[in-house]
Structure 1
């Protein structure tokens, strides 16, 4: 006669396998059933946050604060300022990659959601699109002296919805293809069509006054065009599909990304110095050699005069070289913060706090630039320090006292509840039907048979 396997302590009766018997001993005290719906137990435990991702997001936000507030030109040395050199474009591209990584987290990371849960994820992202269009469009009603990325983000998320169910390999390939095809489509679209563009489309422009111009700006001609920036979104989604809790995976990600960044930076430098600068100057009648060099340094919207522009890696140039270079640098930054999380996580707490409520901090930064524009122009260093210190202090105390940032909480409540209404957690007839004594008796009888 075999001895039955010992049962774990305090096993609820409903979890006892048929044929097994509870062990003798005292049982937990429980209230008698009063006929109401039994309390539902959570199906899965909440996945703990990867703090390195929050730290990277906090670094990106602080970088945007610095580049928006500090001057781009250093009069002392007659060169582009160090702040602009480091953060211009790079912070926003890192932020976009992390947005893609957030989409991977929403849809299950390496364990990709399927079926009803994936459909709910897609609706969740769609309602985030609506939320960001409204929020970003309303902010743009004010004459803020920088480009607000939120309306562009809405379109990034919108275009990512069909790809939420893809795995890492497919997303890496999609990012690679988009990094090549996207800049070329943008180049030929601008060269072929006489696009008007709005770098700061507001809610009135998007919905009523200039909907087509706003749409073309957000997709093709604006400062963060979706046609090229989707490469960062797909790259972030692909990274989010990896096992980011595995140190060897993180180190490999950082190594290959660094090799890619160095390779494209080196190729760009060699080609620009030996051929491209000459070809661009010859093909662009309205620009001298110095004008071309200034545009290469400062970045911005490039003319569609020659494909040699595609070797430029300057900020916001949206060329093939710049997308590969900036995307690889952003992946290096993510990898670095994931490694630092394991080594000095306590030193990253300020960045983690800011990154956990990056939307709140970013919107506050936009409003600060609007209300304190004269002070920002007169005292850029002081105003940069003030914004960073206030953001860190607020984020640390809010995170400790409340948790989720105020705008993050609002977004989560609205989008998740709306998604659950469209795609309930289970069919409506089962979600609302109460469990009855007769149903329980029938199940018990079937088990005995």
Structure 2
């Protein structure tokens, strides 16, 4: 499972190191990480088929550190940029209405501008190749770790924060649960991972697949439909084709999982009637000699063979 908690652990150590930096230096460091972080990432992954798989406890310590800092799904070298911007934003007076409006405008401009610039550059130089290289710098695809994606994604996050700051004071009491979740965001994030692990793992690849498979009853195996049976597959002579619900229950639809239990008398009677019916049908199917019946004066019947 790809989670950001190992990256958070390293970023918290970074926060301890830069906590006393002035506001201007935080912005400078965030801007520098936005530009230099993707270059470092490309240098570490160039010439490889990068799969962004996280490290596990079974890996060596050097491999774990490399995955968290450089090659994992949330590399510190690029994710430190929005983290430092968040530290700068946390020092602002977010109750100021004018600041909220400015954050909304700047966030929207960054979110849309990063995507537009990426589209223009891709149209000019073409799509990036499969191998990691400098041509990736024009990409704004989600989790591409490139500058335009960092600009667009971080701007979108700032826009969401600004809109929430503008609307929550006017929304009333119904948003209090959302406010509580925001105040315990890391705790809720860790808790939801345990919920996903309980519902999904091992099994489907997402929580939605796990919930759907858990709530959907298993399907019964069905026999082929009667329409799929070849018309040449006719019953042998002397046997009548079954029609109606009984026939359709056997030739098509789902098979029955159990059989009805009959008493001894009922089963014997059914077998006796079956033998009688088969005997009558087989007798009627054989060619019979032509006979004539005459009556004598003593009213005794005699049968004379004519052929």
Indicate if the aligned counterparts of 1:311 and 1:322 stay in contact, CA closer than 8 A: no
1:380 pairs with one of 189, 208, 232: 208
CA shift in 2, pair 1:222/1:377, >3 Å: closer
Shift of 1:321: 0.8
Instruction: Identify the residue that residue 134 of structure 2 maps to in structure 1.
Output: 307
Confirm whether residue 147 of structure 1 aligns to residue 147 of structure 2: no
Does the 8 A contact of 1:197 with 1:216 survive in 2? no
Deviation digits for residues 152-180 of structure 1 (CA, Å, limit 9, x no counterpart): 11011112222101233221221111100
Secondary structure of 1:158 counterpart: helix
- Give the TM-score of the pair, scaled to structure 1: 0.43
- Corresponding position of 1:167: 22
Structure-1 residue corresponding to 2:63: 213
Matches within 5 A, 1:257-406: 257-277=107-127, 280=128, 284=129, 287=130, 303-304=131-132, 306-373=133-200, 380=208, 383=211
Q: Deviations over 1:340-396 (max 9, x none)?
A: 122214232221122232233222322222222278669827949x9xxxxxxxxxx
Q: Whose helix fraction is larger, Structure 1's or Structure 2's?
A: 1
Q: Distance in 2 between matches of 1:379 and 1:149?
A: 17
Give structure 2 stretches of 5+ with no counterpart. Answer: 215-307
- Checking the alignment, whether the CA contact within 8 Å between 2:94 and 2:100 is kept in structure 1 is yes
User: For residues 382 and 339 of structure 1, do their structure 2 counterparts lie closer, same or farther at Cα, with a shift above 3 Å needed?
Assistant: farther
* Distance in 2 of aligned mates of 1:226 and 1:378: 25
2:44 is matched with which residue? 189
Work out which of the two has the higher radius of gyration on C-alpha atoms and give 1 or 2: 2
1:316 and 1:224 mapped to 2: Cα distance? 8
Structure 2: distance between partners of 1:195 and 1:275: 21
- What RMSD, in angstroms, separates the aligned Cα atoms of the two structures? 2.8
Give the corresponding residue for 2:86: 236
Q: Hey, what's the Cα distance between the residues in 2 that align with 1:177 and 1:226?
A: 14
TM-score w.r.t. the length of structure 2 is: 0.62
User: How far did 1:310 drift?
Assistant: 1.4
Runs of 4 or more, structure 1, over 4 Å off, are 194-198, 374-379
Aligned mates of 1:198, 1:257 — CA distance in 2:
28
The number of equivalent residue pairs is 212
**Shift of residue 199, structure 1, vs aligned partner:** 3.5
Distance 2:161 2:211 in 1: 28
Aligned counterpart, 1:291 = none
Equivalent-residue separation in structure 2 for 1:273 and 1:349 (angstroms): 46
- 1:60-81 deviations in whole A, cap 9, x for unaligned? xxxxxxxxxxxxxxxxxxxxxx
